[in-house]
Amino acid sequence: MMIMKLFTALDLPAALIAAGTLASASNPPAPRNAPSAANNQHLPSTSHGPNYNSTPHFSFEELFQLQKKFLDNFVFPENQVQAKSVNSSLLAPNVQGRVDITRTFTGQELNTEYLFGLFANIATVPNEFTLLGIPLAYEITHFAASQNIASASTRFNFSFPILNNLIVPIEIETWNVFDSNYQISQQPQRPKT
């Protein structure tokens, strides 16, 4: 019951609540055998919705490692490498990124610019005034995963150059959907309020 209350408080998708997978970043559970994609072959594929035939089934550990790979590239200086690539290889070509209720970014270029370029450019001009910081390090505080969806609450240490490099911890919640190429195909991110 306590796990259910935690998930509800974090507004996680119902699929993750039903899956009941919760772990600490410092102690992820042992990987479980994921169902085979062949189990979904009887489901129809349409051009109007998800292709159930190609929905990958990753183990918990695989999803944890994919989430860490994304977060490792979100922090400085790796975010500069991703930003300069223009089309990050971590993102699927048709990735959908939700910025807020009013805007969805479609494609690698816009999502690369938003996820990596926004913070990467701050480090290149440290004397410019900005209310944004530079993400330097992170710690995953909560993690849940099922099938091809990884959800994490992550505490980042942001450095604010305009404030004499004051370090401020900020928690960001991420929901990443991974495709069969191990790339992010959907990614709504938001700071925890």
pLDDT mean across residues, the chain: 77
pLDDT at position 143 over 90: yes
Domains of the chain, with CATH numbers? 21-28+56-191 (3.10.450.50)
Model confidence at 117, pLDDT cuts 50, 70, 90, reads: confident
Q: List C-alpha distances in Å: 65 to 27, 39, 160, 182.
A: 13, 24, 29, 10
State residue 64's pLDDT score: 98
**Cα 112 to chain center, whole Å?**
13
pTM for the structure as a whole:
0.69
Question: Rounded distance, CA 75 to CA 90, Å?
Answer: 14
42-66 pLDDT per residue, tens: 333 333 444 545 789 999 999 999 9
